Structure 1
């Protein structure tokens, strides 16, 4: 057992699994979040979102003594896993959550504590915002506190496996402190842990997600090209990918989640004159809900359906088999519908247990009874297992999972 006390700040999709993984591997951990309802639920022994293996990991962490609190605690190491959105006007990072967490940490941390920022940040954020905040408080970096950036690299739906097996990057300008943090993560991480400087770690994480965004944008642009000239984009991508050096990703109704749809904007905001390709990719991917909307209109016109309330959107989450709705393409689509067009459109998602939007239905059979057109926005296992029940519907399959004759594609 490592003789170290860790306070993980932020019990969301990243912070909670990280805290549980440390605790399950005999590290003394306190998980902190300002959300009293969330902390109450954790203290009652209930996980706060669905994820394969999370319940079992939670139970092991509880047996090892993990604690939860709404207040920050004195600790040797602080791991900050709070949201880092971007300002939609300037496209720059909104670092307010990180800075707020830092202010609270500085009020109670013992001398020599290490602050590890796991939240994804734009390159230079720690130098521009974090370090000045600490220095302004009267603390000396490298003596009173140490700074490290260890960006997360996991995806909802496969978090536990990826926490254990993915490689990690530890950005530290002090190699000795970097090694201490590396040794901490090695209690559970089987992947290679690379030590580098802070700014390199910041940039590496952002470009990983930006690369994927650009690849998806290429697939989505191909979709529009093929749609304009009546070609099968899926067959074209399948054949092209037989080339040993080609790997085109799948097109879809948009890009969601808190990583791919957000991180590229950090670069656009900070380097507006140097990010033409990245900006173009963002615009293409952000345009896909509008493309889906046009396809819905075309199908309605072709089949003489005038009542939008007979259209059903299947899927609210941003990806399959998770309950995470952040930046969901379906929510983006609903935002793009004007009040008249959106009136009465039905929505259903088996992974979402509470009503989040108007006309959201909670029973699949009731949902089917109310619609003539079903738009598959998310490829949950649930819909794959229930394709046979869609045979009497007009189907717009944005995920290419349905092989019923006559299905409409992107």
Structure 2
């Protein structure tokens, strides 16, 4: 890296992680070139505006853009450090798809120079960082790649995933610890020097494959524990028990800490990453696979119970509270709330009102069935049945006396 104290940085992907990461790096004083395939996203950021909802991100982006520290384009540019933060979805058979990662890798290959550092941040199956290296080696035979040459490599390649919570991304990008995995120890050290420019948390170096697996394990651990809570909630429904009371009492045990159930599990991390482990070792992962199936199955359980409740309230107006995958954000990726609302709208049409304070319009799948977007006060005035799907703060603020006479199915436990 030619300038370790103030490197030029190219960030590939301006989404939920890439844009905040680019803005934080720019705030540290680095000139950042942000790249996205979506021209509207590039234009929006270039004007100092944002296309996603995240606490304090709007002011930060406006500031670094106005100071000339963050510029955007649809194509990669020469830099000292390249950070790849693009989506890694799975296909219909739950197999990981790293096409976006490899496309981003190919996009930076022509502008690479000796001394560059390349860091993959996208959650990826084990071995992805090495596949990036192999693509670069094929495209740039003039550059010595780590692990493929006996001489000192020209390029350093590492893997360093984020560990952030939506709504706290800007804080946690800086304060949380980082696992930095290099293809070689030298690669890890080069990446470490970069992250120390803006990360206050502890940065721990390891190899790339271990860092890739660590990210997957973190989210699979959470998924398994949520599955226990969700399965417990379905058992409680069958036995006509209050799962929230049971969890409160059980958690008084000094060595028990049961998580809170919900309508399923969403987001691009917990709902996706465990499948990457299952794909890599299908015969050794019955627990992780079962947890995924339990959490996906909770959506169907919620839909069935909601339909039973609605069908016993003939001609009632129904309010579905929330579409996001978690509270106080606008991210609908893999959202169980959205899946439930879609099914209910398909069956009950214009009887369904959707209350989602973090959107100005409904997804097409809901609108085509006649569902209406409503604010919370209109829903309280006009709806008889409430299906609580997301624990947004505004929903928690509804007092009991405003819910008198309403039939409620609370999948989040906010009104218990």
With the length of structure 2 as denominator, give the TM-score of the two structures: 0.90
Q: Find the aligned partners of 1:85 and 1:376 in 2 and give their Cα distance.
A: 28
Q: How does 1:183-332 map to 2 (within 5 A)?
A: 183-301=193-311, 304-307=312-315, 310-332=317-339
The whole-number CA distance in structure 2 between the counterparts of 1:168 and 1:25 is 17
Query: Which residue of structure 1 aligns with residue 136 of structure 2?
Result: 134
Cα distance in 2 between the residues matched to 1:375 and 1:337: 10
Cα deviation for residue 369 of structure 1 reads 4.3
Q: 1:8, 1:31 within 8 Å by CA — same for their partners in 2?
A: yes
Please state whether the residue corresponding to 2:37 is helix, strand or coil.
Answer: coil
Contact 1:32 1:68 in 2 (8 A): yes
Which stretch shows the higher mean deviation, 33-42 or 202-211?
Answer: 33-42
Q: Check conservation: 2:350, 2:372, Cα contact below 8 A.
A: no
- Quote the Cα distance in structure 2 between the aligned partners of 1:362 and 1:300: 19
- 1:72 aligned residue (70, 76, 91): 76
Query: 1:197 & 1:277 partners in 2: Cα distance?
Result: 26
- Give the counterpart of 2:15 among 12, 15, 22: 12
**Equivalence for 2:357:** 350
2:119 aligned partner: 116
In 2, Cα distance between equivalents of 1:43 and 1:59: 9
Are residues 1:375 and 2:387 paired?
Answer: yes
**What is the root-mean-square deviation in Å for CA atoms of aligned residues?**
1.9
Do the aligned partners of residues 336 and 276 (structure 1) sit closer, same or farther apart at CA in structure 2, a change above 3 Å counting?
A: farther
Which residue of 2 is the match for residue 46 of structure 1? 49
* Equivalent residue, structure 2, for 1:393: 406
SS at match of 2:118: strand
Displacement after TM superposition at 1:347 (Å): 1.6
Offset at 1:216?
Answer: 0.2
Alpha-carbon distance in 2 for matches of 1:305, 1:31: 52
Rounded Cα–Cα distance in structure 1 between residues aligned with 2:113 and 2:361: 42
* Residue-by-residue CA offset, 1:51-101 (whole Å, 9 max, x unaligned): 112123223423362211221100111000000001221x22100000100
CA contact (8 A) 2:345 2:352 kept: no
* Shift of residue 10, structure 1, vs aligned partner: 0.5
- Asked if 1:168 is matched to 2:178, the reply is yes
Q: Is the 8 A contact 1:24 1:64 kept in 2?
A: no
Quote the offset at 1:370 in angstroms: 4.4
1:93 aligned partner: 96
1:188 Cα offset (Å)? 1.9
Hey, what's the Cα distance between the residues in 1 that align with 2:241 and 2:402?
28
TM-score, with normalisation over the residues of structure 1?
0.92
User: Offset at 1:171?
Assistant: 0.4
Give me the whole-angstrom Cα distance separating, in 1, the residues matched to 2:324 and 2:415.
Answer: 19
One of 18, 22, 25 as aligned partner of 2:25: 22
Give 5+ residue unaligned stretches, structure 1: 404-410
Question: What residue is the counterpart of 2:149 in the other structure?
Answer: none
**Structure 1 match to 2:150:** none
- Partners of 2:209 and 2:62 in 1: how far apart? 37
Once residues 169 and 346 of structure 2 are traced to their aligned partners in structure 1, the CA distance between those partners, rounded to angstroms, is 38
Q: Is the 8 A contact 1:26 1:64 kept in 2?
A: no
**Structure 1 SS opposite 2:283:** coil
Aligned residue number for residue 406 of structure 1: none
Tell me if 1:36 matches 2:39. Answer: yes
SS class of match (2:181) = strand
Structure 1 residues 100-126: Cα deviation after superposition (integer angstroms, max 9, x where no partner): 000110022223322100000011222
